[in-house]
């Protein structure tokens, strides 16, 4: 998606440790018009599929997932929670995910009330690096008996391999930008065609 690639080039910052910072429009300040265009792109890609629910992970997935939902007939958006809370009552699906940016494991929790075997799920997240977060969400879907219809990603870092592994497993992964390389010294970013 040219608009997203141009925005990453303009406002993204390459950090050491393979981290791309996009706080200006995605991870801190949110560009809702851009989010809407991203939702349009995913709707075009997944047009032939029945989607009954969008599942994402807090916090940065929520904004893009909600904007995307408007393009999928206003299906509900469920976000997996990263910590146990007194507001989470009843039965839950839980797994553990290793965080690329925080360098530690955290729980990923969805209430059984909001995910079940009738659901056809589109997974959405801001970044795809090694694929740990996505695997966690897939595990929750499997536990619920829900089917994963596809995966929509804003920024995939192709050189970390998580996206290609998921494609090899048969998942339909639509990444709106795929970073092939990025250089923290020069700030140069190249995208996969």
Residue 27 interacts with ligand 5GP (CB under 6 A): yes or no? yes
Q: Does 27 count as an annotated binding residue?
A: yes
- With CB under 6 A as the contact rule, the residue among 29, 101, 181, 183 that binds ligand 5GP is 101
Q: Which two tokens stand for residue 79?
A: 């976000």
- With CB under 6 A as the contact rule, the residue among 39, 131, 150, 152 that binds ligand 5GP is 131
Contact between residue 7 and residue 179 where contact means Cβ atoms under 8 Å apart: no
Within 13 A of 39's CA, how many CA atoms are on the CB side?
A: 23
Distance between CA atoms of residues 81 and 111, nearest Å:
9
> How many other β-carbons are positioned within 10 Å of the β-carbon of residue 144?
19
Residue 125 interacts with ligand 5GP (CB under 6 A): yes or no? yes
- With CB under 6 A as the contact rule, the residue among 54, 144, 162, 166 that binds ligand 5GP is 162
Considering the complex, what minimum distance in angstroms separates the CB of residue 126 from ligand 5GP?
A: 6
Counting Cβ atoms within 10 Å, is residue 72 exposed (0-12), middle (13-18) or buried (19+)?
buried
Residue 132 interacts with ligand 5GP (CB under 6 A): yes or no? yes
Binding-site residues for 5-phospho-alpha-D-ribose 1-diphosphate: 129-133
């Amino acid at each position: 998606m040219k608009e997203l690639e141009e925005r990453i080039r303009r406002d993204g910052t390459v950090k050491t440790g393979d981290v791309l910072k996009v706080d200006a429009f995605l991870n801190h300040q949110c560009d809702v018009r851009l989010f809407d265009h991203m939702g349009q792109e995913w709707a075009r890609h997944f047009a032939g599929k029945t989607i009954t629910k969008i599942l994402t992970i807090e916090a940065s997935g929520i904004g893009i997932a909600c904007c995307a939902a408007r393009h999928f007939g206003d299906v509900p958006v469920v976000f997996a929670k990263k910590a146990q809370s007194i507001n989470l009552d009843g039965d839950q699906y839980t797994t553990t995910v290793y965080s690329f940016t925080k360098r530690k494991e955290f729980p990923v929790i969805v209430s059984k009330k909001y995910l079940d075997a009738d659901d056809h799920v589109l997974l959405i997240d801001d970044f795809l690096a090694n694929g740990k977060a996505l695997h966690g969400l897939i595990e929750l879907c499997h536990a619920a008996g829900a089917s994963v219809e596809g995966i929509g990603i804003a920024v995939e870092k192709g050189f970390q391999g998580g996206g290609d592994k998921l494609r090899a497993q048969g998942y339909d992964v639509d990444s709106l930008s795929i970073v092939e390389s990025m250089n923290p010294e020069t700030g140069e970013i190249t995208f996969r065609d």
